[in-house]
Homo-oligomer: A and B are copies of this chain.
Amino acid sequence: MQHDKHAPHRPRDSSCGHSASWHIVEEGFSADRYGLNATLFALGNGYIGLRGTLDEGLEGHAAETGCYLNGVYYSEPITYGEKAYGYAKNNQRIAAAALPHELRLQLDGVAVDLHHGEVLEHRRTLAMDEGLLYRLLRWRSPDGHVLRLESRRLVSLVDRQLVLMDYRFSLEQGSGVLSIESALDASPIEAGESEDPRVGAGINQADLAPFEHQANGSRLSLGFQLRSTGFALSAVAGHSLKLGKDTENALSPVSPTAVKSDEGLRVACRYELPLEPNQPVTLTKYVLYADSHTPTAVSAADLTQHLATCMEREFTQYAEQQQAAMTAFWQGSDIEIGGDPSLQQGLRFNLFHLFQSVGRTPGTNIAAKGLTGHGYEGHYFWDSEIYILPFFLYTQPALARNLLMYRHSILDSARARARELAIPTGALFAWRTIGGEECSAYYPAGTAQFHINADIAYAIRHYHDATGDDDFLRDYGAEVVFESARLWPAIGHFNPNKAGRFCINEVTGPDEYTALVNNNFFTNAMAQAHLRYAVELYHWLQAQAPDKAASLFRQLSLTPEEISQWHRAADQMYLPYDEPQRIHLQDDSFLDKPRWDFANTPADHYPLLLHYHPLTIYRHQVCKQADTVLALFLLGEQFSLEQKKRDFDFYEPLTTHDSTLSACVHSILANELGYTKKARHYFEQVARMDLDNHHHNTQHGVHTACMGGTWLCMVQGFAGMRLQRGQLQFSPTLPKGLTHYRFKIQVRGRLVELAVDQQHVRYKLLEGAPLAFSHGGRNLTLGEPDATISLSLAGNLHD
C-alpha cells in the first residue's frame, strides 16, 4: 500500500476499535482522489445510486458526479469501424438522473470551491453501520471568511425513492452573505472518450425530453423522458431551512428565489442569507425519485404528496430508520474477523456496497459497477450469477431470487438474440445488457462467451438447492434452464474427429486473454452440468407439477427426443485433457501456444489489455483470470484434489489477474489445496480491491463481482462451505494473522452461525429445523434452535 494521507483512513491495528472497521474516513482534501472517493463514498439503496461527490462540486470535475436509477437506461446505436451481420445494434447506458445534492454556494459573491481559498479541515466519513455519509469542512475563502459546513447524506434503505441531505453552515470568522442555490440538475455532462474499454463512454443525454420543470418557492420538480428508450424520470425536492443557533429560535422563514435553466433540465431555489459569525443555518433537502418503468412509478402529484409526508419528519428520524435497516443487514450478513482490522474494513466495505447496489424490484439486477459509477455503462454481466449471487443467496435469499427473476424477465430478448445467431430454438443471454438486448460491441469477448447460459442455469440450480424454492423453479427457473440449454446442441456437435465426443467450437471462456477457441474446458464442463440439470429438471417438473410440465413443454415444443439429445450431449461431452501432464486443457490448442514472456514484461505493462494488441495476447499462454480454475471451484465435486492441484499449479503462474474476477477464485482454490499463503495473499487483493484501488480504475465504480468474491473467499474459501443437493459441508481453516471469524448463513429455512477461532469451530443453529451437515467429511446434526457444536480446529490453522 502506498502512503497517501488523503486516502480513506486505513486502520493500522486492532486498537482502532469499532470505528475503524465500520467507517471509511477521508482526512483532508485531494483533487487527485476526487473521482476515486466519489466511488468509495457512493450511497445507494438498490434503486438510487449517488456518487460521493461534493455538494458544491469541484471546478474541472463536473463529470465525476452522477446519480443513477437501477434499470433505467438510454440507448444509442453502436458504431463499428466495420460491421458484420448479427452484431449488437444498440448500446444501453445507465442514465443519469437529476443530481439531488447540487448546491452552488457563494460567500459574499465568491464561489465556494476547494480548489480556491484554503481547506482548514476536511473530513468525510462513510459510516457503514449507519448507512450515512458525514462531512465536515472548514474552509477559508480567498477573502478571509472561514466557512464551516457539517453535512450528512443518506439514500434511504426504507423509502427507496428518497435521498436526504442535511447541512449546517456557519461562519467561524467574518460575516457575509451566504448564497445557497440548491438544485435538481439533469443537465448533460460532457465526459471525454477513453481508450480503456472498461470505461463507459460519457453520459450523452442528447435524447432528453423535459416534461416537468418547476421551481415553486423551496419546492422543485423536474421530469424528463429518454427518447431512445421511453423511460420517464421524475424528481421532486423540498427544503427545510432553519436559521439561528437552534430550531427553537428559528428566524422567520426565508423565501428563496426560483432558478430555472433555459433547456428545462435544471431547477433550483436560491437562498441569500446574511450570516453573522457563529450564527448557524441548517438546511435539510428531501429529494424523491420515480421512473416510468418501476413499481413506484407515480404521478407528479403523487410525488409531491409523498414529499410533503416525508418533510413531516426530520433528518434525524430518517437517520434512525437507516441505522435500524443497516443493523438488520449486518446482523444477518456481516462477516466478523479478528486480528486484521484492515481486512475487516475491506470486507465490510464490500458487503456494504453489494447491499447498496443490488436491485430489489423486478427487472433490476446488479451492475458490474453497482450503482457507484457508469463504468461498463451500468451493464449487468455473468458477475451477478457466479460472483455475487451466493452472498445474497445465503444471507438474503429474496434478493438472490430477484436477481434470477431478472433473467426470466429478459427471456424474450434472449430468444431473439439466439435467432440472430442462427440458433433455431431456445435462448442466448446477452453477455452484457441492462434491458436484455446484447450490448457487447466486441463479440470475441462478448457474445462468444456462450458460457453465460450455463452460468445462469448453474445459479438457478444453486438457488433452488439452497432455498428449496420449488415455486420459483417451477414457474420461472425451469423455463430459463430449458430455453438456455437449447444453445448447446445448436452450437456444438458430435465430432467424428474426436471419437464422436460432443464438442463446442469457436467460443470464448471466462479468460478474455484467450478468444474464439474450440472446447474451452470451462464452457464444456459448465454446458455439461447445464444439460444434465436440464434433463433432471425435465423429470422433476413432470413429477412435481405435471400440469405445469405439460403446458410448458407444449409451449416450448420440448420433446423427449430433445431431452435424450441433451442427455447424450452431456454424456459425451468432450473435456480436453493433456495425458502427459495430466492436466485439464483450457482449450484444444492451449498447449500449442508459447508461454507469455512474463520475465520481460515491464510492471507498468499490466493490465496487458492496455498495452498489447489482442492478437499478441491471444497468441500466448496467458490468462487474464481464472478459467479452468473457476470450473474446478464451481464443479469441484467432479475433480479429485490431486487433479485440482495439478491444474492450479499449471494455470496459476500463467494468470495475470488483470480481471478483478480472478483473485477470489484463486484464493478459494489455494485454500482447498492447502496453499495457505497464496489463499491469504489473494484474499488480501480481493478484500481491499476498491479501497486500495488495486486496479487503478475504482474511480469508474466499484467492482461488485470482486466484492462478492470477498464473501466467497471467506465462506467458501476459508470456511470451506459447499452445498451439494441440499447437503451442507464445511471444512474451516483459519488464515494466518486472523484470530477468529464468524458469519451466519441461511440454508433451506435454517439460520446457522459459524464461528472459528484459533482453537475451535463452533456451529450454532439459530433458527429453523434440524440441520444435518458435514464438517471436514464428518457428519453432524444441529438438532434444534440454539443447538451448538464445538469442535477443535486442530490441523486447520494456517501456518
Does any Cβ of B come within 8 Å of A582's Cβ? no
Chain B residues whose CB sits within 8 angstroms of the CB of A421 once the complex forms: 613, 615-616
CB contacts under 8 Å to B, within A580-615, are 588-589, 591-594, 609-615
| Closest CB in chain B relative to A420 CB, distance in Å | 7
Chain B residues whose CB sits within 8 angstroms of the CB of A441 once the complex forms: 80-82
> How many copies of this kind of chain does the complex include?
2
Q: Give the contact stretch, choosing among A182-190, A443-451, A683-691, A770-778.
A: A443-451
Interface string of A395-427 (1 = CB under 8 A from B): 000000000000000000000000011100000
A592 touches B88 (CB 8 A): no
Quick one: which of B84, B196, B505, B594 contacts A619, CB cutoff 8 A? B505
Does any Cβ of B come within 8 Å of A91's Cβ? yes
- Alpha-carbon distance between A252 and B788 when the two chains are bound, in angstroms: 119
Does any Cβ of B come within 8 Å of A233's Cβ? no
| Closest CB in chain B relative to A766 CB, distance in Å | 47
| Closest CB in chain B relative to A493 CB, distance in Å | 4
Do A84 and B422 contact each other (CB < 8 Å), given the known contacts A589-B505, A615-B506?
A: no
B84 touches A81 (CB 8 A): no
Do A613 and B420 contact each other (CB < 8 Å), given the known contacts A506-B618, A518-B592?
A: yes
- Alpha-carbon distance between A87 and B614 when the two chains are bound, in angstroms: 9
Q: Counting chain B CB atoms within 10 Å of each CB, which of A84, A91, A442 scores highest?
A: A84
A82 touches B613 (CB 8 A): no
Chain B residues whose CB sits within 8 angstroms of the CB of A448 once the complex forms: 615
Chain B residues whose CB sits within 8 angstroms of the CB of A671 once the complex forms: none
B422 touches A612 (CB 8 A): yes
Chain B residues whose CB sits within 8 angstroms of the CB of A196 once the complex forms: 83
Does any Cβ of B come within 8 Å of A761's Cβ? no
A442 touches B612 (CB 8 A): no
Do A440 and B82 contact each other (CB < 8 Å), given the known contacts A420-B613, A448-B615, A497-B592?
A: yes
A85 touches B442 (CB 8 A): no
Does any Cβ of B come within 8 Å of A144's Cβ? no
Does any Cβ of B come within 8 Å of A516's Cβ? yes
- Sort chain A's interface into a size bin: 35 or more
Smallest CB gap from A591: residue in B? B497
Chain B residues whose CB sits within 8 angstroms of the CB of A440 once the complex forms: 82
A84 touches B442 (CB 8 A): yes
Chain B residues whose CB sits within 8 angstroms of the CB of A516 once the complex forms: 444, 515-516, 615, 618
Does any Cβ of B come within 8 Å of A338's Cβ? no
Does any Cβ of B come within 8 Å of A491's Cβ? yes
Interface string of A67-85 (1 = CB under 8 A from B): 0000000000011111111
Does any Cβ of B come within 8 Å of A636's Cβ? no
Do A493 and B84 contact each other (CB < 8 Å), given the known contacts A79-B79, A444-B444, A613-B421?
A: no
B616 touches A86 (CB 8 A): yes
Chain B residues whose CB sits within 8 angstroms of the CB of A783 once the complex forms: none
Chain B residues whose CB sits within 8 angstroms of the CB of A592 once the complex forms: 495, 497-498, 503, 505, 518, 588
| Closest CB in chain B relative to A751 CB, distance in Å | 44
Chain B residues whose CB sits within 8 angstroms of the CB of A503 once the complex forms: 592
Chain B residues whose CB sits within 8 angstroms of the CB of A498 once the complex forms: 592
A82 touches B505 (CB 8 A): no
Does any Cβ of B come within 8 Å of A197's Cβ? yes
A82 touches B506 (CB 8 A): no
A611 touches B85 (CB 8 A): yes
8 nearest A-B residue pairs (beta carbon): A81-B441, A86-B613, A82-B442, A78-B81, A506-B619, A82-B441, A79-B79, A493-B594
Q: Given known contacts A85-B610, A86-B616, A505-B619, what 14 new A-B pairs fall within 8 Å (CB)?
A: A80-B80, A80-B81, A82-B442, A85-B613, A421-B615, A444-B444, A444-B516, A495-B592, A497-B592, A505-B592, A506-B615, A516-B516, A518-B592, A589-B589
